[in-house]
Structure formats: structure tokens, C-alpha cells
């Protein structure tokens, strides 16, 4: 039997690391890795903000996360980042850590500024596409093959984007705990399409609205609007298409949420409905009751958590053929992959051909927390063997 490993994850600071986040894709992945490693019996320690709530051991570096997922660079944030990294380094120096696992390219950049000199190998999950890798451009050429930083792409698409990066490892797809996702027991239970994600042109909410209108379908849109001028302007262009704007992020228990929040919205005669940002438990209910989840992305997304979350509930996905989509969705079995919006419109007619059980089984077999954590565990062991 291979030895149990002590892993220190250095978390991002935009939002806390916890199970009930609304928007927080990287933070959700960190939480899931922590949960998976803990279940495997490894010692999982997460260096994070004090408003986090992890499964393994929590090592608090700063009192509170930034709350805003994106905001202007400030002296306060830079100082918080410095404290976070220095505290994480002090934790790593105690001598009981085997591997440091990082998630932020800017944090890795601090290694080359002398802020963070790791006493153990570092695994770095790549979350950003090549088009947004400004931090990589500043320091990636400094790496040599003997550098003890190992990069993990989250899709084959992303691996190809970062071709040439030293110490690139095999792809490890994200995973979810399928048992946390309520299963669709009655296909076609509600007559709405669902789309969720940060409100921005890249996510294609305008295309989702177009699909709904062309098919006569009701559309529920969920997601936050970040404090970016471009995103706020995009939201304003969408507003004129909304028939109803309401806040569905109200804190009711699951048993009450459907009756008190969802049902009144769905009983209305409105077609295009924006419900704002919803938390983790709430979005699962919106997935579960939907006919399908629309994913009309306008960019090469490295990995779409929305896809595996939807399918975990048994809800098929209609997605544009971009980024990692073909690696995640099985065309004709767990959803439909289209090359154009018109093809997505046609695919709406075929939603009922998809068996919800096939969607859920696909996620259990290929995108579970257990699968993800096992692959990271194998990588940690490989790296430690190479460095002994």
C-alpha cells in the first residue's frame, strides 16, 4: 500500500473555500479536491481565508476573502496576497508537508520574485486559457525541466493551448460529488431551459435568449454580473429582453425553496426570466427541474463545470462545439453538441431523446470527485518518487 500524503493547497482569495458558493469556479474545484483527498485518507490541508469551511484541515492565513470575484488591484489586496503566501510558506516549512498544490498563476509568479521559496514540489492546476495567461508570459521562460513546479491541464483542449510549457502533466478533469446532485426522476418535469454562469459575452446569454425565442421556450437565466465595465454594458443589452427580473437567491431550505421561490417564478406567464446569482444548493434544483441546460459559449472554455453539474442531475446539455465541450458531452447520448445557434435551436426538439440516467452515469464514471482525487494522488506519488 502506498503511503498517505500530506498536501497543502494554497487557495485563491477571491471567495472563501466552501460547499455552498454561488459563483466561484476555482474555489469549488479546490473544495472538491480537498474533499476527495480527505476521502482517500490523505492529509488535506487548505491554506485559505477565515470565512472558508473545508472538509480537511483549515489553515487560516487572512481573516476574510475578497468577496468580489473580480475587482481592481489595490494595495490592500496585494498586501493580503503577500500575507497569504508568506503564511502558507511558513506552514509548508514545518516539515510535515509532502506537496504544495497551487491554483493561481500570479501566486506562482511570486516564486520568481523571491516571495515564495517552496521547500517541497509544487503542483499547479492550470485554470486559465492561453489567451488569458499574462502572468505565464512574464515568467514561463524562466522554467527549466528541473524546476519543481508541475503543471496540470484541466482538458486536452487546454493542454494543447499551453503546448511547450515545461513539466506539463497528463490532463486531470474536474469532478463533482454526484451524490450531492438531486436526480431528475421525471424527465420534462418543467417546461424551461436553463443557463447559468457569469453574465458576460463569452458565456453567450444573448444566444440563449435567441434560442428560447426561436423555439418558444421559457428560459431561466442565472448568474452574477461582475464589476467590469464590459460585463455591465453587456447586461444592459440583455435587460430589454427580460420579461421578468427577480431574486431567486433567497435563503430557504431545499424543501421550501421549490414551493416558495421556484414555483411562483415558474407559475408566471413570463418567458425570459433573470433570477440573479443562486447558491450551490439552489442551482442544483434549477438544473434538476429543467428540460435542458444551454451552454452557448462564445470562447474556448478550458473546462465547463456547468456541463458536469447539469448532467449529474440527469439534465442534458445543449452546447456549442468550442473549447473542452467535446471532451465532456457525448453527442446524442448526454446532450447535443452544435456548430451553430441554428443547430442548437433544432436540438431543442430532440431533448426528450436523452435518457437522464445516461447523463448521470456518464458523470459518475468520468467526472467524479473520487476519480479526480485518485488521479491527483497518483500524480503526487509520481512526483515524490522522482524527487527522492
* Cβ contact 13:114 at 8 Å: no
Predicted confidence at residue 118, as pLDDT, reads 79
100 phi, psi to nearest 5 deg: -105, 135
Which run of H or E residues covers position 284? helix 280-289
Averaged pLDDT, 126-146: 65
* Mean residue pLDDT across the chain: 90
Closest CA to 285 of 265, 258, 305, 304: 258
pLDDT in tens, 295-338: 999 999 999 999 999 999 999 999 999 999 999 999 999 999 99
What distance in Å separates the CA atoms of residue 248 and residue 290, rounded to the nearest whole number? 15
Q: Which domains does the chain show, CATH number per domain? A: 6-175+368-386 (3.40.50.2000), 178-366 (3.40.50.2000)
What distance in Å separates the CA atoms of residue 158 and residue 126, rounded to the nearest whole number? 8
Per the rule left: phi > 0, alpha: psi between -120 and 50, beta: everything else, 360 is alpha
What distance in Å separates the CA atoms of residue 332 and residue 386, rounded to the nearest whole number? 43
Grid cell digits, residue 294: 444551454
Is the alpha carbon torsion for 30, 34, 35, 37 positive or negative? positive
Burial of 174 (0-12, 13-18, 19+ CB in 10 A): buried
Predicted confidence at residue 138, as pLDDT, reads 61
pLDDT in tens, 3-33: 899 999 999 998 899 988 877 889 999 999 9
Asked if residue 197 has pLDDT above 90, the reply is yes
DSSP letter string, 43-109: EEEEEEETT---SSEEEEEESS--SSSS----HHHHHHHHHHHHHHHHHHTTS--SEEEE--HHHHH
Predicted confidence at residue 142, as pLDDT, reads 63
Predicted confidence at residue 74, as pLDDT, reads 73
pTM above 0.85, yes or no: yes
pLDDT in tens, 205-256: 999 999 999 999 999 999 999 888 899 999 999 999 999 999 998 887 777 8
Least confident segment among 52-56, 160-164, 203-207, 351-355? 160-164
What are the residues facing 10 on neighbouring strands? 47, 102
What distance in Å separates the CA atoms of residue 174 and residue 310, rounded to the nearest whole number? 14
- Contact partners, residue 213, CB within 8 Å, separation at least 6: 271, 272
What distance in Å separates the CA atoms of residue 242 and residue 265, rounded to the nearest whole number? 13
Amino acid at each position: 500500500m502506498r503511503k498517505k500524503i500530506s498536501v497543502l493547497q494554497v487557495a485563491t482569495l477571491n471567495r472563501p473555500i466552501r460547499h455552498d458558493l454561488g459563483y466561484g469556479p476555482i474555489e469549488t474545484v479546490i473544495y472538491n479536491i480537498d474533499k476527495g483527498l480527505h476521502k482517500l485518507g490523505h492529509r488535506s490541508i487548505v491554506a485559505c481565508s477565515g470565512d472558508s469551511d473545508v472538509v480537511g484541515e483549515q489553515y487560516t492565513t487572512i481573516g476574510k476573502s475578497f468577496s468580489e470575484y473580480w475587482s481592481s488591484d489595490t494595495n490592500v489586496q496585494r498586501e493580503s496576497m503577500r500575507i497569504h503566501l508568506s503564511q502558507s510558506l511558513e506552514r509548508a516549512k514545518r516539515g510535515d508537508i509532502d506537496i504544495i498544490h497551487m491554483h493561481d498563476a500570479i501566486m506562482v509568479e511570486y516564486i520568481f520574485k523571491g516571495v515564495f521559496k517552496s521547500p517541497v514540489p509544487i503542483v499547479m492546476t492550470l485554470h486559465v486559457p492561453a489567451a488569458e495567461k499574462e502572468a505565464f508570459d512574464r515568467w514561463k521562460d524562466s522554467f527549466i525541466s528541473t524546476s519543481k513546479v508541475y503543471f496540470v491541464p484541466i482538458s486536452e483542449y487546454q493542454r494543447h493551448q499551453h503546448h511547450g510549457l515545461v513539466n506539463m502533466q497528463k490532463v486531470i478533469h474536474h469532478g463533482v460529488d454526484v451524490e450531492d446532485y438531486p436526480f431528475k426522476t421525471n424527465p420534462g418535469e418543467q417546461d424551461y431551459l436553463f443557463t447559468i454562469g457569469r453574465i458576460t459575452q463569452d458565456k453567450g446569454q444573448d444566444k440563449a435568449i435567441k434560442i428560447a425565442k426561436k423555439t418558444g421556450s421559457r428560459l431561466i437565466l442565472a448568474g452574477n454580473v461582475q464589476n467590469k465595465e464590459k460585463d455591465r454594458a453587456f447586461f444592459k443589452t440583455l435587460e430589454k429582453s427580460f420579461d421578468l427580473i427577480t431574486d431567486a437567491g433567497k435563503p430557504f431550505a431545499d424543501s421550501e425553496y421549490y414551493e416558495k421561490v421556484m414555483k411562483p417564478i415558474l407559475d408566471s406567464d413570463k418567458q425570459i426570466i433573470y433570477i440573479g446569482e443562486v447558491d450551490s444548493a439552489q442551482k442544483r434544483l434549477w438544473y434538476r427541474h429543467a428540460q435542458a441546460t444551454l451552454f452557448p459559449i462564445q470562447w474556448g472554455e478550458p473546462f465547463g463545470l456547468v456541463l458536469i453539474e447539469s448532467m449529474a442531475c440527469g439534465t442534458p446539455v445543449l452546447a456549442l462545439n468550442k473549447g473542452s465541450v467535446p471532451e465532456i458531452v457525448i453527442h446524442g447520448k448526454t446532450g447535443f453538441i452544435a456548430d451553430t445557434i441554428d443547430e442548437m435551436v433544432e436540438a431543442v426538439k430532440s431533448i426528450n431523446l436523452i435518457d437522464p440516467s445516461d447523463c448521470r452515469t456518464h458523470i459518475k464514471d468520468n467526472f467524479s470527485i473520487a476519480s479526480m482525487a485518485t488521479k491527483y494522488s497518483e500524480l503526487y506519488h509520481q512526483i515524490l518518487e522522482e524527487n527522492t
